[in-house]
Structures are given as C-alpha cells and as structure tokens.
Structure 1
C-alpha cells in the first residue's frame, strides 16, 4: 500500500488531501461514491486519519472523479468517525490547491473560480491568485427548527436551534449551560457539545428535502451568544463526529450560523460578520448573499471566507505484519 497526500490547514484545522492510492470509486453520484467508500474502503480512512499517521482530530479529503461536468474536482470528506457531507475549511484549502495544481478549467485574475463537487452539492469557490485567500458559496442553508427543548443528561433541559449549512448542527450559546467558549476548558466544552449532539439525535428527527443521506446531525456549535451584526467577531467552538474539535471557526458551521442569524433578523443580505475560533483565534468572514428556497424551507446562500496553508506532503505505507499501522485511537 502506498498513499500519497498533500498536507494543509485552514485556521489550524488540518486537511490531509489524498491524491493517490485509493482504487477507482464506483457510483453515479458523489453520495453513492461516499456510501461505497464507507462500506468497502473504511480501512484506508482509519490508516490515514487515526494513529500512528494521524490523530483523534485529523481531517481528510479524498479526491475522486467528478460526476457533474461543471465541477473542477470532487471530494469525499473524512474524519475520526466516518464521512461528512460538507466541509468549509476543506473547501477553502482545496480551492487554493486546485488553482496551484492546475485542476481548474480556466484561470482568471484577480480571482479564479473553482467549483467543488461535495456530497451535499456544488460549492463555488473564488481564490485570489496573489494572497491565496478564498471565499466560497455553499449549497442553500436553512433553519430546520429553533428553540427546540431537549433533555441533556447532567445539564437538564436546554433549548437549541438546528440549522443546516451543508450539514446539520445544533447551535447553543454556551452561557446558557454555565460555560464560556473562550474561558472554559476544552474538555468541559466537548462534554457539553457531545451530550447535546447525542440528545438531539435521540429526540429530534431531522429531514432534508433532497436526500435522506443528508438528514443527520453532524455536531454541535457552542457560541458566545453574540448574534447581532456589531462589527466585532463572534466566537464559537464546533464539536463534530466523535467528539472531534474543529480548530477553525468551521466553514459549514459558519454557514449554518449565518442562516440562523438571517432567519432571526440579526443579519441582513450583504452584511458581513466575522466568526472567530474560540481556541485558535482564527477568523472566517460570513455573509448572506441571496435568499432562496430548498423544498419547503426558506433558505439563504451564504459566502464564507478564509485562507488555507500548505504544511507539507507525505507518502504513507503499511507493512504486512504491522497491526498497529492499520490505525488506532487513544
């Protein structure tokens, strides 16, 4: 086995881009390819995301053949637990990578458009050729339900909002549970967020108008409670998958938060809000750019901006008798 990768990060959140080593992935749609990889090639995810090559919070992107002609590249996202449907920090890094690797159909100045086929749909990215800064417009984002009362073991009744930004998130101001996203310890925040995620999964049935494969709760976002447009950053921590902590402000999470803020009237079309990672301090921009609909839901298209950085490249191998090399987590 030999797997070739390019290593990047966005806002401190790692991205391991898998360039070669996987077999061809069958499937007419990217969701079908994602399903095939999950059922048949999950051992490769464990080798690349888990120790000793990765770690508990590693994140990856598998490049596959596009199934939609308008796309420049197609990607299957992966993490410590499995496979997500959207990843904003990855799209930000992948767009810069695609321009640098000559994967786009045409290069224009000052920005080059990169269309990425994600499991949730097409994501349009625009990368500045000089700075490398990227902004992306994801699939329509919408609010599923607000002020949902759930019982959370150890915390009692909490009320959360559920919003979709390419993936579903439960969103809650941390102070309502007695915590502070900047001052509280990361383990306290993870325990709260993970408990909320599990409670919502048990108590709320999600629905997506395009595919049942998209109808699952990806994680919980704990915020500082600053939702109104003020010109100052609002901080959050996103905990997703199996208690995995996003080091960045979380691109799909920012998308979901903007949709929620727009829905509640805190943010208007064209207004930019800054989103800060409560633990690394990195900043993404987010703004609602266009009202739309998806099924029965009022929705909005959201633009998110940030920058991905290169950290290296790697060739990974597995020796036949290396049992630990197949992947493990502590």
Structure 2
C-alpha cells in the first residue's frame, strides 16, 4: 500500500512552501527544538520525499505541522529546506504556514484581524493576520530576537578575493554582504552568477568565521544575503536583496559544485538580518521600517519593534516581519512502496 500525505502548496513573494497537514509521525522531545532535532535524525526521508524530484524542485521548502509543546501556542511547525537545513525560524515559511492554517479552516478566521501563536523550533512567534472574505491579506509576526555576531570580517574567497561581510543571527545564521563591492546587479538574469558567488562566500565564511547560537546549539553560517544600500522614501527605508541557499555540498577542488539557488521571495529572516545590521550600524533605529525587495521585486516589510541588551552587553533587535502568501495547490503526495526511487533524487543539471 502506498503512503500518502495531504499537502497545501503556497508561495510568498515567489518562494514556494509546502505545508504538510497529515502524515507526520509522533515526535519525541519536550521542546520544539528537541522535536526538530529528533525529526532531523529520524525522519529526514520525509523532507527528501517532498522536496527532491519528482515531487519537489530545488527552491522548494516544506513545513510540518506538529502539536505545540508550549501551552501558549496554537500550532507547532518544523521547517525543512534543501541540503538538510532545518531553520530555527523562517519568515516566508511562517507566512505560508499561517495562510494555510487559516484558509483551510484549521483555525477560525476572525475579520478584520486574526491573532494566533505558532511555536517554531526557535520559540514562540506571535502572529497578527489581516483577513477579509476568508482570505489572508497580510501576515505580521514578531520574529526571533536577532543580533550581530561579527561585524566587518574579511573573508578570503578562492578566485574571488577578499570580501567584507557581517554575520547576523535572525533565525538562521546569515552572512550579509553589500553587493556593491562585487559589481553584480541584483537581477534575475544574473541569478546563476549570484548563486555561485554567494555560495562560495558563504562556505568560505563558515570555514574562516564559524559561529554557534549561545543557547540553541545552532551552528553556522548557513545562508547568505546580498543587500543594497537603503534609500529613504516617504519616511521609510527601501532596499533590495537576494538570498543564497545551498542545494549541495561545495568542493573547492571541483568548480562544478559551485552551485546554489536564490530565494525567490524577499525573505523574512533575511529581512530581519538586514534591519538588525542596519540598526547595529546606526542607519536604522527603533520604530523604523524597511521595505525589502527580492529578486522578483516582490517585497516584505521589516520593522524594528524593540531592542534588548544581551548578556555580552551588545544590543539585539526584535524585528516585526510582514508579507503575504498565495495558495497554489491542494495535493495528495503518494510514495509507492515498490518505487525504486522512493525518497526522490537529484541530478546536477539543475541541482
């Protein structure tokens, strides 16, 4: 008999996310972070089934709805991405998950605003969703506390040279790079070059400047955002970005592995990383907002809600991220037990 999962597919600003409504196994662990760890160690085959070919494609993500472990939360969720990356938090995945929960009736919609709480592996995420006629028009969330770990570090990248970067935690560990120093325009037609250059910078930064979260055992860096310098328009900061995500293992001796993929959305945790860095560099302050455009010119908003002093005396930022998702499909994903390629596959022509 075939195993099957009920899924809803959505996208937020172009980045596709798959929400699994049923078929998720019981997970061991007393916290969502422990459930994430157990899932990674015992059920990563589910991520492979749903994200690799023939059911997935390189830029897809998946979110598994699970019972929350905190009584304040309405739902728990575990985020899975390509290359066995399980973020502690992801903005666009959260926006897609909230939209799925409300538009499929898993949680009652109240208009004009529905409030709920999700439990991510990184902690509780407070949600305020603007709703009308059964649709979710905007999802606003209080993100994880974000902070700059390393500022203006020098990264030596083979065949590229020295790159100046910052390393910021905002649910994932971001290498933040001003794209102007590389002379590449953030346009879709430059996607292959941006992905290749970004992946090499990120891997070099991880080798030369490794980091780990002080309390959550989350090493990095594991992702990169190219940013542009912000402009001020009508009292709001405006800038562009693209986020580089891994889709394989880079081998410095094999240029064929210098591949990656670009986040199609403006990226929620990437937006949180950028506003946190801009606050650190005294460009933005508490109460300021950034309209952050992605590679497709879709955008999210990043707002600095508050700041907190960390144990080491540095200042962390509490970001508020907002954006919208659109449903694209409701599907039943099937895995036949006599399929010789049960858990999917990748081929390096597109991966």
> Which category describes the TM-score, using the shorter chain as reference length?
over 0.9
Contact 2:231–2:237 at 8 Å: present in 1 too? no
2:226 to 222, 228, 233: 222
- The alpha-carbon distance between structure 1 residues 31 and 241, as it changes in their structure 2 partners (threshold 3 A), is farther
More deviation, 319-328/17-26 = 319-328
3-state DSSP class of the match of 2:211?
Answer: coil
Cα distance in structure 2, aligned partners of 1:87 and 1:36: 19
- Give 1:116's aligned residue: 118
Cα distance in structure 1, aligned partners of 2:294 and 2:158: 27
- The alpha-carbon distance between structure 1 residues 183 and 89, as it changes in their structure 2 partners (threshold 3 A), is closer
Q: Report the CA distance between 1:107 and its aligned residue.
A: 5.6
Cα distance in structure 2, aligned partners of 1:183 and 1:252: 21
Superposed CA offset, 1:219-255 (max 9, x none):
111122x135444631111012332321001000001
Cα distance in structure 1, aligned partners of 2:219 and 2:81: 18
Q: Are residue 168 (structure 1) and residue 184 (structure 2) matched?
A: no
Q: Report the CA distance between 1:133 and its aligned residue.
A: 0.7
2:291 to 248, 261, 274: 274
Contact 1:62–1:77 at 8 Å: present in 2 too? yes
1:254 to 261, 271, 286: 271
> Which runs of 5 or more structure 2 residues have no equivalent in the other structure?
248-259
Q: Report the CA distance between 1:140 and its aligned residue.
A: 0.8
1:79 to 57, 81, 87: 81
Aligned residues: 326
1:97 to 95, 100, 114: 100
- 1:276-291 correspondence runs (5 A): 276-278=293-295, 280-291=296-307
3-state DSSP class of the match of 1:45?
Answer: helix
3-state DSSP class of the match of 1:37?
Answer: helix
Contact 1:92–1:125 at 8 Å: present in 2 too? no
Q: Report the CA distance between 1:102 and its aligned residue.
A: 4.6
Cα distance in structure 2, aligned partners of 1:49 and 1:239: 17
Q: Report the CA distance between 1:294 and its aligned residue.
A: 3.8
Cα distance in structure 1, aligned partners of 2:279 and 2:202: 23
Cα distance in structure 2, aligned partners of 1:2 and 1:237: 34
Q: Report the CA distance between 1:184 and its aligned residue.
A: 5.8
- Normalised by the length of structure 2, the TM-score is 0.88
Q: Report the CA distance between 1:187 and its aligned residue.
A: 0.8
> Which runs of 5 or more structure 1 residues have no equivalent in the other structure?
none
More deviation, 295-304/65-74 = 295-304
- Give 2:338's aligned residue: 321
Cα distance in structure 1, aligned partners of 2:329 and 2:310: 39
- Give 2:191's aligned residue: 186
Q: Report the CA distance between 1:183 and its aligned residue.
A: 6.9
3-state DSSP class of the match of 1:25?
Answer: coil
Q: Report the CA distance between 1:157 and its aligned residue.
A: 0.9
Contact 1:228–1:261 at 8 Å: present in 2 too? no
3-state DSSP class of the match of 1:185?
Answer: helix
- Give 1:63's aligned residue: 65
Q: Report the CA distance between 1:200 and its aligned residue.
A: 1.0
Runs of 4+ in 1 over 6 A off after TM superposition: none
3-state DSSP class of the match of 2:82?
Answer: coil
Superposed CA offset, 1:185-210 (max 9, x none):
11110011100110111011213222
Cα RMSD after superposing both structures? 1.7
3-state DSSP class of the match of 2:325?
Answer: strand
More deviation, 46-55/314-323 = 314-323
Cα distance in structure 2, aligned partners of 1:28 and 1:232: 41
- Give 2:145's aligned residue: 140
Q: Report the CA distance between 1:68 and its aligned residue.
A: 0.7
